[in-house]
Structure formats: C-alpha cells, structure tokens
C-alpha cells in the first residue's frame, strides 16, 4: 500500500475486503461530488491493493499446487498492472509495489510449462465507450481514451453484436487463462522448487536458463523409446543414447536473500 | 513440446486496386468521404467488409502524423475482426507513392513505439502502392517483426524519383 493507506496484512482476506470496500465507498463519494482527482487517486489505491493481494494469493496457490488458479491470478495482476501503469506516475507505481509485481509476474509466468492455448476469432459489430456509452464509429468518436481513467472509472470499449467465427490453437494467446493442457500431465517442479526456497512473495530472485552436461549413467532409467532428456522432441534412441554425456536444459536460481536452511541446492532429474 | 518455426511469407506483385477503382465501386456517400485521401485502410483477411481490431487506432495515428487517411467503409457498415493469438494484424493499406517516405516512417513508429512490438512477434500486413502511372503494386508480409523491414524496403523502391 501507499503512504496514504499504510500496511495491511495481505494474507488476511477480511482485512483486504474491508479495506477495498472502504476505498470503493470513498471513491464513489468523491466521484458523485465531482472530485475527479480524488476519485482517480482512490481508483489507483484500489488497483494497487488488488494487485498486491492477487499476487500474494497466486504465490500461495503455487505453494498449494493450485497451479491453474495461480496462473489466472498472475494474468489478472499483469492486466491490472498495465492499466495502473498507464494511469499513475512512476513514484506511485513504484511505492505501491506494482512495479515489483509487474516485473515478477512475467518471471513467475516463465516458469509455468503452459505453451498451448485456445483463442477465439470473432467479428464485432460495434463498440461503445464505457464512460459515455457513445457508439464508436470511424468518423464518430467521443472524447474518452480507452485505457484512461475518468472520475474514478476506467474507460473500456465494450463489444456488441459479436459473432464467434473460429477457435484457434495458439502459442501466444491474448487471454493467457485459455490454457489447453491437462495439469496432471505437466511438470510444475520449477515452481515448486522456487517456492520451497523463498520466504515471501516479495523476495527477489533471478533465473539463468542454460544447459548442463551430465554423464549418460545419470539417465539409466530412460529407455530408447522415450523422449530424449535433451528435450529435442526426438526419441532417446534416435538422439543422445550413443553419447557419453547428455546436455540437458538447466535453470540456475539466484536468490537475493540466500537459501533457507532446508534448501536442496541441486535437483535431479529436471 | 516443440512447435514449428513461424513461416515467413513475403511477396511483391505488380497488381492491386487503385484509388480510382475503389472510389468507382464505393457507395456514393463513401466515395465522397474518401475523395482526395492519400491513404485508405481496406478490409482484411479475405473479407470485403471487416477490418482488423485496432484499425481505428492506426487510422488515428496516421492522421495525427499528417497523413490524410481514411477507412474504406461507411460508419454504418464498419465492423472489426478480432483474431486469434497475440499476433499483430496490422491490415491492408493502399496509398499513393508520393507519401511513401512519410508513411514508412509513421507505420514503423506505430509498430515499434505504439504497439511496442518485440522482434519475435508475428505481424501480418499488406501494402498496396499506387504508382505515378496509376498502376498498383502489392507488398504482402507475414512473419516476424524483426524482418518487417523487408516489406518497408520493398515499398520504398516505389518511391517517386
């Protein structure tokens, strides 16, 4: 939280809910009294608290192996950070913690194994402005800019007369929540590993994606008709089975606060 | 899991519509709107009536940068195609060769500064240049943003001497 609304317990949902309700009430009062600057500032406070609470909830869900929930919460953080960034100055964005979260959302997302998503294609008849309800046309616009706040409300363009034309399978989705995978078939061990080594969602860490050569004897359990450990996508028997050393993907984590006493420094298999 | 690389499709052909032909086939109300424009954004994706989402943003950006642009649609008929994935569907543009230098600069700034495109992003666009002799050439590009200069350079070759 910012200087105006100091620390609250981000693990206490009741405290978060009551603080958000109080901020929303204050924003509505400011808005109805025409105090646009105050209403806009309260909008920022609400978004900042939502971002922090959602980020903490996401990391909590990773710890509880609710990966899909965490993924969706990280996406919510990403979207809200974008709108807050476009509607606040650098000082507020930094002091509210949103700048840190914006940076770390992307880093956490990079550790998820999701890579195939669905994405709808559609024809939109027309859009209206969420602030003034103006019908947006090529030669007829209102004065509101999409993505900006007006009297404590975010301007969005709302689609009408929608016709879904296709559902595509994509690797770079607009909506990250549209994951196609069955989580039961995926490896979330990078997330588990990191979570077991950090004390707080606000710990700082870095990843270094590299490769590591290991003797073939470390892969005795891999049969020739299984996927090659080098992750080329080929079968082991047609790829690295004749090599003395096998080069596999490897991730180094650097934790600013150091390892905790229970930390296992190296994990294998990957 | 591995995925196929993005397949690049880059093509330059000596054909395409002209301003005169478009104006001739337009509804009289639209014909009057597009009269004298240097750039028109045309319907895309094989349709004759739908524009990529974000076309109005591109239109505004072109006009803010002193390019006299419009959309080849009436207000009533305009509709948008919202397509799959986070790919950059820029659209189909027809412009007169006289505006090539400024158009290339502005559209490049739109891609990198406004859309904040990353080199690895996929972009799809089509530029139709109406040359001085009133014939047209079409430059199509589907591929990575990092190689979009190919399309811009192909367009620049049609600059008036």
DSSP per-residue codes, A194-205: HHTT-SSTT--E
Which chain B residues are closer than 8 Å to A137 by Cβ? 75-76, 78
Nearest to B29 by CA among B74, B76, B94: B74
Looking at mean pLDDT, say which of A1-5, A110-114, A255-259, B2-6 comes out highest: A110-114
CB nearest to B85's CB, from A123, A126, A170: A170
Inter-chain CB pairs, A–B, below 8 Å: 68
Probe site for chain A from B85, B115, B119, B124 (most A CB atoms < 10 A): B85
Q: Into how many domains does chain B fold?
A: 1
Q: Is residue A269 part of a domain?
A: no
**What confidence category does residue A9 fall into, taking pLDDT thresholds of 50, 70 and 90?**
confident
Shared domain check, A126 and A95: no
Q: Is residue A267 part of a domain?
A: no
Q: Is residue B118 part of a domain?
A: yes
Q: Is A128 on the interface with B (CB under 8 A)?
A: no
Domain boundary among A109, A135, A159: A109
Q: Is residue B88 part of a domain?
A: yes
Does the distance separating the beta carbons of A166 and B81 come in below 8 Å? no
Shared domain check, A42 and A83: yes
Q: Is residue A121 part of a domain?
A: yes
Q: Is the pLDDT of residue A128 over 60?
A: yes
The per-residue pLDDT for range A18-66, each reduced to its tens digit, is 999 999 999 999 999 999 999 999 999 999 999 999 999 999 999 999 9
Does the distance separating the beta carbons of B80 and A124 come in below 8 Å? yes
Shared domain check, A42 and A94: yes
Nearest to A37 by CA among A193, A164, A149: A149
**Domain span including residue A136:** 117-170
**Domain span including residue B25:** 9-156
Distance from CA of B36 to the nearest CA of A (A): 16
Q: Is residue A266 part of a domain?
A: no
Q: Into how many domains does chain A fold?
A: 3
Q: Is residue A81 part of a domain?
A: yes
Q: Is residue B48 part of a domain?
A: yes
Is the peptide bond between B118 and the residue preceding it cis, with omega within 30 degrees of 0?
no
Q: Is residue A179 part of a domain?
A: no
């Amino acid at each position: 939280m910012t200087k105006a609304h100091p620390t609250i317990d981000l693990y206490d949902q009741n405290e978060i809910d009551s603080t958000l309700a109080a901020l929303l009430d204050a924003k509505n009062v400011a808005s109805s009294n025409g105090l646009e600057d105050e209403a806009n500032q309260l909008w920022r406070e609400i978004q900042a608290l939502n971002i922090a609470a959602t980020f903490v909830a996401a990391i909590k869900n990773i710890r509880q192996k609710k990966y899909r929930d965490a993924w969706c919460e990280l996406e919510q953080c990403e979207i809200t950070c974008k709108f807050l960034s476009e509607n606040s100055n650098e000082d507020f964005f930094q002091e509210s913690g949103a700048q840190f979260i914006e940076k770390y959302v992307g880093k956490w997302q990079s550790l998820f194994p999701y890579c195939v998503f669905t994405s709808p294609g559609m024809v939109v008849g027309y859009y209206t402005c969420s602030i003034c309800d103006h019908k947006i046309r090529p030669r007829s616009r209102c004065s509101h800019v999409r993505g900006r706040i007006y009297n404590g409300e975010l301007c969005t363009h709302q689609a009408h007369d929608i016709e879904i034309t296709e559902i595509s399978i994509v690797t770079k989705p607009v909506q990250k929540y549209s994951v196609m995978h069955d989580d039961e078939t995926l490896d979330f061990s990078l997330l588990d590993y990191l979570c077991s080594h950090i004390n707080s969602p606000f710990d700082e860490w870095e990843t270094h994606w590299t490769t590591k050569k290991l003797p073939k004897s470390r892969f005795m359990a891999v049969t020739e008709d299984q996927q090659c450990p080098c992750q080329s996508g080929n079968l082991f028997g047609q790829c690295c089975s004749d090599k003395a050393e096998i080069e596999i993907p490897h991730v180094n984590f650097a934790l600013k606060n150091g390892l905790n006493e229970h930390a296992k420094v190296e994990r294998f298999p990957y | 899991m591995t995925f196929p690389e993005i397949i690049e499709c880059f093509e330059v052909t000596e054909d395409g519509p002209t301003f005169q032909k478009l104006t001739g086939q337009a509804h009289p109300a639209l014909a009057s709107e597009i009269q004298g424009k240097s750039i028109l954004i045309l319907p895309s994706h094989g349709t004759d009536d739908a524009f990529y989402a974000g076309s109005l943003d591109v239109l505004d950006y072109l006009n803010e940068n002193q390019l006299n642009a419009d959309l080849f649609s009436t207000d009533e008929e305009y509709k948008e195609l919202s397509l799959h994935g986070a790919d950059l569907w820029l659209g189909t543009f027809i412009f007169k060769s006289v505006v090539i230098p400024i158009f290339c600069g502005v559209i490049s700034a739109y891609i990198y500064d406004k859309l904040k495109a990353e080199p690895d992003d996929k972009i799809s666009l089509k530029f139709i240049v109406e040359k001085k002799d009133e014939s047209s050439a079409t430059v199509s590009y589907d591929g990575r943003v990092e190689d979009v200069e190919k399309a811009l350079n192909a367009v620049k070759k049609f600059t008036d001497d």
